[in-house]
Amino acid sequence: MPRVPDSAVRRLSLYVRCLEGIDTAATSTISSRDLATAAGTTAAQVRKDLSRFGSFGKRGLGYPVDPLLERLRTILGLNAEWPVMVVGAGRIGSALHAYPYFRERGFRIVAVLDDDPVKVGSEWNGTTVEHVDQMEAIICDRGVKLLVLAVPAPAASGVALRAARAGIRGILNFAPARLEVPDEVVVNDVNLALEMEALAFALSR
């Protein structure tokens, strides 16, 4: 299977959101042009992105909305339920937990871990905080493949490596640190300070 550029994956997610907003009773089909307008891209881009995974549009008509949605969800892995572990019972994890779009997409937070004895055992948005020492056992027991890492930068790489060895396959990393993990583990860095700096840069010119 040829590699899919990261930018294309993000657009596919956007297409899902746009398609979800369509009343399929009224319109059962959508053209690349209309989908492009909704998603903020070009018609050619939409067609290229979709054709990468086969051709399910109808020439002269457009793409049938429901089958396309179903197909995109399958491609993106959104039909499966994803148990998610959060390490770092702070505000970022809390924000994600409260984020409605998170659960909607099948991401289910099944464990929240911290190393602070004050936090361990406390209720955290309906979940009991467990100690980070339990990490490996919980990953195995609950079949967790995805990790949200929201610990201070110095601790990040150590936790990530332990998690990877215990079976974690993907990490959403909020710590401003480079994670040293095996190649087969996918890391997605989210650095909020950096996003802000990109704005500051743009305004400084």
Interacting residue ranges for DNA, rule: CB under 7 A: 3, 5-8, 30-33, 41-45, 47-48, 50-51, 55-63
Report strand pairing: 127-131 vs 123-124: antiparallel
Give CA–CA dist 38/61, Å, rounded.
Answer: 18
What is the Cα 163 distance to its own chain's centre? 18
> Strand, coil or helix: what is 182?
coil
Stretch 97-116 residues interacting with a second copy (CB under 8 A): 98-99, 101-102, 104-107
* Site string (163-192) toward a second copy, x via CB under 8 A: ------xxxx---x-x-------x-x-xxx
Q: Choosing among DNA, a second copy, none, which partner's interface includes residue 59 (Cβ < 5 to 8 Å by kind)? A: DNA
Residue 96 within binding range of a second copy, rule CB under 8 A: yes
Tokens of 83: 């148990």
* Site string (40-69) toward a second copy, x via CB under 8 A: x-----------------------------
Could you tell me if residue 182 is left (phi over 0), alpha (psi between -120 and 50 degrees) or otherwise beta?
beta
Q: Choosing among DNA, a second copy, none, which partner's interface includes residue 7 (Cβ < 5 to 8 Å by kind)? A: DNA
- The answer to whether residues 67 and 40 touch, using CB atoms and an 8 Å cutoff, is no
All residues at 6 or more sequence positions from 155 whose CB lies less than 8 Å from its CB, including other chains: 115, 175
Which residues are 115's β-sheet partners? none
Selection from 112, 116, 72, 70 nearest residue 95 by Cα: 112
Residue 26 within binding range of a second copy, rule CB under 8 A: no
**List 29, 70, 78, 110, residue binding a second copy (CB under 8 A):** 78
**Number of neighbouring beta carbons within 10 Å of residue 74:** 12
**List 13, 29, 31, 157, residue binding a second copy (CB under 8 A):** 13
**List 26, 59, 91, 117, residue binding a second copy (CB under 8 A):** 91
Interface with a second copy (CB under 8 A):
1, 4, 6, 9-10, 12-14, 17, 40, 75-78, 80, 82, 84, 90-92, 94-96, 98-99, 101-102, 104-107, 145-146, 169-172, 176, 178, 186, 188, 190-205
